[in-house]
Amino acid sequence: MSMAEHDTAAIDWDLLYETARDARLKAYAPYSTFLVGAALLTEDGEIVPGCNVENRSYGLCICAERTAVATAVAAGKKTFRAIAVVTDTSPPASPCGMCRETLTEFCDGDTPVLMADLDGERVIKPLRELHPDPFQWPENIPKGS
């Protein structure tokens, strides 16, 4: 599916942004104080929010994007049309490598990713531009083996 086929004009980017911005305020980030909000648009039009949740053992932290993905999957949603990520940085921050890889598990490369800050600066890029060479399961190893 190309980015045009994702029909980005039909996406309510303002609502997606507002959902991610509001989720950002719920973040638990006492160590970095870097609050991040995300909002996933599911194939059926539902918007699933997520925020980052830190832990004193940094390896246990979960990013806003992965929180949204995990929440959506737990609700039975596994196909996404778009994602918004909101931070208080200019230029707007993009998803980290782990989040990019997670998104490629559920989204095709043309899925639009909105990166925005609190002042209204917005950048939209296709996922493949952010993560051009995602991990591919080896063809010679059956899944589930």
Residue with tokens 């949204």: 68
> Prior bond to 134 cis, omega within 30?
no
Q: What strand order describes the sheet that includes 47-51?
A: 47-51, 37-42, 80-86, 112-116, 122-126
Residue pair 49/32 in contact by the 8 Å Cβ criterion? no
Q: Where are any strands of DSSP class E within the chain?
A: 37-42, 47-51, 80-86, 112-116, 122-126
Catalytic site positions: 65
- Is the Cα torsion angle 24, 32, 82, 71 positive or negative in sign? negative
Residue pair 38/47 in contact by the 8 Å Cβ criterion? no
